[in-house]
Amino acid sequence: MNAFQQARFISSVVRAEDLPPAAGRELVFAGRSNVGKSSAINALANRRRLAFASRTPGRTRSINFFELGGGARLVDLPGYGYAAAPRALRATWEPLITGFLAARRRFAGIVLLTDARRPLVQSDRQFLAWLAPVDAPRLVLLSKADKLSRVEQAQALAHSRAALAKERIEATALLFSSKQEETVAEARALLEQWLAERRA
């Protein structure tokens, strides 16, 4: 169905009261700042500046909404893990995310990007635990996998799958690099499948 090819930026929201109501099937993207989330969204949509286009100064703490084909949406959550400003982060990030999640009980999918060189650090696991009540299939992408050797990639994948099993989090874990089209295609195919399944 190729929903990603039709991706179009809709809006950037910074205040919980400005959040649009849930409509259609939504794929949520999350991850620590600098993990490669914008690059991943661009790669999945096969566009150079889709996610960066919404990233004007002051908007890095916003939720960015994109329309996909067929009435689906991609929701880009603000990057978390600014160790330098935990209180400021909680003050701006939490009400926005909490407001977003409060209005939604299910998603077509939750995509968590985590750095393949140090996958599923505490803030990632906290985020997944926080989302535990939400009904959605989960995809953990081990980003920047191109920076690892084949052996290291296999270790990162095994480590991540073991960590998810230990925390009793049901999720698919895949190696991902926005620079390696075969990994992008694999993630895209799975997400397109989830969107198709949630059409009913």
Residue 137, phi then psi, degrees to nearest 5: -70, 150
Q: Where are the alpha helices (DSSP H) in the chain?
A: 37-45, 50-53, 86-102, 122-130, 150-166, 181-197
Number of residues counted as binding ligand GDP (CB under 6 A): 16
Is residue 147 involved in binding ligand GDP (CB under 6 A)?
A: yes
Is residue 37 involved in binding ligand GDP (CB under 6 A)?
A: yes
Q: Which is nearer to ligand GDP, 73 or 144 (CB)?
A: 144
Among the residue ranges 66-74, 128-136, 166-174, 176-184, the one whose residues contact ligand GDP (CB under 6 A): 176-184
Q: Are 149 and 157 in contact (CB under 8 A)?
A: no
Task: Give the number of other CB atoms < 10 A from CB of residue 142.
Answer: 25
What is the rounded CA–CA span in Å between residue 170 and residue 178?
A: 24
Q: Which is nearer to ligand GDP, 114 or 136 (CB)?
A: 114
Is residue 12 involved in binding ligand GDP (CB under 6 A)?
A: no
Residues 6 or more apart in contact with residue 148 via CB below 8 angstroms: 116, 117, 156
Q: Which is nearer to ligand GDP, 25 or 144 (CB)?
A: 144
The one among 6, 11, 33, 46 contacting ligand GDP by CB under 6 A: 33
Site residues (vs ligand GDP, CB under 6 A)? 31, 33-39, 79, 143-144, 146-147, 177-179
